[in-house]
A = this chain, B = another copy of it.
Amino acid sequence: MAEKRTDKVTITEVALLAGVSTATAGRVLGGYGYASEEIKKRVKASAERLGYRPNLLARGLITGKTRTIGVVAGDIQSPFYSSILRGIADVARAEGFGVLLTNSDELLARELEAVQLLLEKQVDGLIVAPCDTERSDHLRRALKGGCPIVQFDRMVKGLGADAVTVDNRKASREAISSLIDAGHRRIAILAELERWDSGDISSFIARVTARSIEPTTLFPSWQRLFGYVEAHLSAGIDLDRALIGRVGAYSLEAARLQALHLLRLPDRPTGLFTADGLMTAGAVDAITSLGVQIPDQLSMIGFDDLDWMSFLKPQITAVVQPVTAMGQTAARLMLERIAGSDSPPRHVTLELALTRRGSVSKPA
């Protein structure tokens, strides 16, 4: 059943039926080179009659272009990545490109494997959320090999490739500042903060204070902590290390536990900033189970906007990432590269918007 591919009608057969050479048939069907009107008509009719479908493998083999974009996401199941992917797919489809998808689960080994597969499949370019901003020789090699790369969400240090990110640091600083402006002095942060090779939280804070750290190649949650620290510094408020909730893993349960811990501190924070959607979910879970009232007993701002935040109590004021636009932008940058642009690496930073929903008030 699966062996009889009646499907396999080639350009040779079309040419034969139309009484022309395969070269001519190719010119008509592929839309390149000359062909008289009469022959065009004949070839098209033959193709139609035989149900001819070009074999893009063969075309790709000779042209060196597959019109396919490879994507390495962290986990498509997450709203963040699936929205990005949607943006990419939309732009790709409009231009007749295909999208080859892989998940890295934020594991370097898997990213390696994925990039390898995509390259072997001869994708025209790679859109990647790199899971390590340092050890990324595989990306460097791909780039050197002529395969354009567009990074999103984070950037590899010194990789000369395009990137689309958001200004996490600024948005976070502004969110914290708005809490400070409302009168809050004890503001907790709940963030993943998983990987950072260069020491612990204290040394990070020290380096932020000393301005001896470059934020662009940090992971988003660190950038958000960066903004948190900066906001405190510029307002002249002392940092309380106990208020920095480092979850250490991208897990709802871990976030919930850490949130419970923060909310049970003897000197409870009056404000809470969650550094991404999952952290917000964990925090809300903890908040409802403790019966803490938003915003009366706790003011809150979260990063990422998830659908339920708008229609459930408590509604959470949130920093909205333009996720779909991020995917679209990445895809557009990629298409330009594929089209041959050899401009120096571009770094597009998208704007973030704060959606106020009344989860912030003066401290009690």
Instruction: Compute how far the CA of A141 lies from the CA of B96 in the bound complex, rounded to whole angstroms.
Output: 22
Please provide the chain A residues from 194 to 224 with a CB less than 8 Å away from any CB of chain B in the complex: none
A58 adjacent to B61 (CB under 8 Å): yes
Which residues of A from 273 to 298 have beta carbons under 8 Å from B?
A: 281, 284-285, 288-289
- For residue A234, CB closer than 8 A to chain B, the reply is no
Q: Is B98 a contact of A99 with CB atoms below 8 Å? A: no
Contact partners of A83 in chain B: CB under 8 A: 77
User: Which B residues are in CB contact (< 8 Å) with A98?
Assistant: 100, 102, 117-118, 121
Instruction: Chain B residues near A116: list those with CB within 8 A.
Output: 53
CB distance from A139 to the nearest CB of B (A): 13
Interface pair A288/B308, CB less than 8 Å apart: no
**Any chain B CB within 8 A of the CB of A145?**
yes
Contact B342–A2 (Cβ < 8 Å): yes
- Could you tell me which residues of chain A, from 136 to 158, have a CB within 8 Å of some CB in chain B? 141-142, 144-148
A265 within 8 A of B: no
Whether B121 pairs with A57 at a CB distance below 8 angstroms is yes
Give min CB distance, A178 to chain B, whole Å: 24
Tell me if A121 and B2 are in contact (CB < 8 A).
Answer: no
Give a binary string over A68-98; 1 marks a CB under 8 Å from any B CB, 0 the rest.
Answer: 1000000111110111011001100100101
Residues of B contacting A4 in the complex (Cβ-Cβ under 8 angstroms): 146
Looking at the assembled complex, report how far the CB atom of A28 sits from the nearest CB atom of chain B, in whole angstroms: 17
**B313 close to A285 (CB less than 8 A):** no
Contact (A5, B82) CB under 8 Å given A57-B121, A61-B61, A102-B99: no
Given A64-B5, A121-B68, A285-B311, answer yes or no on A101-B102 (Cβ-Cβ < 8 Å): no
Contact with B along A287-328 (1 / 0, CB 8 A): 011000000000000000011101111000000000010000
